[in-house]
Amino acid sequence: MTEYPTGIRPFYQMPTEDWRYTKSFDLIFRGLELVTGAQRIHDPEMLVTSIKKHGLSPKEFKDYIDLFKYGMPPHGGWGLGLERFTKQWLGLENVRLATLFPRDVKRVKP
């Protein structure tokens, strides 16, 4: 799945030219999201605009925004849920069954 609406994605994801969607994707496997990724905003002015559009205060993100003032190349990122992949591949009922040290409300230590 690609191009999610900007209102439901994080402020740092690069919008399309009309700002309605993000340059992002999710990889869905058997109905479960396994991978999420996106191009990230690398321009400080665009970043401030996006922060404001998400109803947040740029003052709260000053240190983050300052990193981009010295130049940042276009970049992206993604994350893969290996436990989710294992759960779906093996047809397990719950992701905790595919996790070495699962955490929940009753277990926070290995």
pLDDT in tens, the chain (110 residues): 998 999 999 999 999 999 999 999 999 999 999 999 999 999 999 999 999 999 999 999 999 999 999 888 999 999 999 999 999 999 999 999 999 888 888 878 77
Per-residue pLDDT, 84: 93
Per-residue pLDDT, 102: 85
Q: Are 104 and 96 in contact (CB under 8 A)?
A: yes
Per-residue pLDDT, 44: 95
